[in-house]
Amino acid sequence: MDFFLYLSRLRQLQSLSKEQIVNAVKTACDFFDMPLPQIGDTTGHPVYSTMFYRGNDKSSFDDDLICFDLQELAYLQVTTYDSLTLVLTHEATHRRTQMYDFPGPNKGSWAKECISDWYMGVRAGMCMMKDISKVIEGLGSTQGCETHPSGDIRRNFINNGFQTGYLNRSSHGTNFEYFINDFKSFYNRMLPDIEKEYPKYYGIISRNFYKKDFDF
């Protein structure tokens, strides 16, 4: 990305007030009927980034922390309030699903990302947020690794979540429960594409011994 464009986007995001950031975290957690977590600013921190950190008790929402790193968000082209709420919805999904075991190698870490991207798309579709296209552009160009699937896979989950949310935008159910079966059926549809990528990132042992099903 052009460096000056990058700087201007960074400045734009940094003009968001602390109050707006707290509000974006709050609405993302409201989407799943969860209380406000503790919020930490990790901008410039060498290790900690924008993410959800769970406390010791994975069955409790009371000891959770959500952090934001403005430089990292700007790099991912997250420069507006709406796109910030989307990334935070991804993190809120990690928070909502912290008590579950996921299928796939490396303790299901790809499936954890897939579900978080998918619900982010759902929320964007329900609220008709145009900024989802920027987030797709940013995340869709990322490389895969042991903890995250490639951008191609992530783009598919965000898009399908968006369509599902858009078609159900008048739903008044509890969002997580209302949509969970739609997520699982899309995950199963995507599974051949996902499994094709495993050999690039996982050794033969982790490719052969992992949990196959969702237990929720």
Residues that bind Zn ion (CB under 5 A): 113, 116
Tokens of 204: 């033969």
Residue carrying the six token digits 């707290």: 22
**Quick one: which of 79, 103, 62, 68 has its CA closest to 194?**
103
Smallest distance, Å, CB 110 to Zn ion? 10
Residue with Cβ nearer Zn ion (113 or 131): 113
Residue with Cβ nearer Zn ion (40 or 168): 40
Residue with Cβ nearer Zn ion (45 or 209): 45
Residue with Cβ nearer Zn ion (71 or 142): 142
Q: Render the burial of 68-91: b for 16+ CB within 10 Å, e for the rest.
A: bbbbbbbebbbbbebbbbbbbbbb
Smallest distance, Å, CB 10 to Zn ion? 22
Cβ proximity of 13 and 69 under 8 Å: no
Residue type present at position 165: G
Interior angle at CA 167, CA 80 and CA 180, nearest 5: 85
Smallest distance, Å, CB 172 to Zn ion? 27
Residue with Cβ nearer Zn ion (69 or 113): 113
144 secondary structure, DSSP code: P
Smallest distance, Å, CB 86 to Zn ion? 12
Dihedral sign of CA atoms 151, 153, 154, 160 in order: positive
- The Cβ-side half-sphere exposure at 207, using a 13 Å CA radius, reads 11
Smallest distance, Å, CB 28 to Zn ion? 13
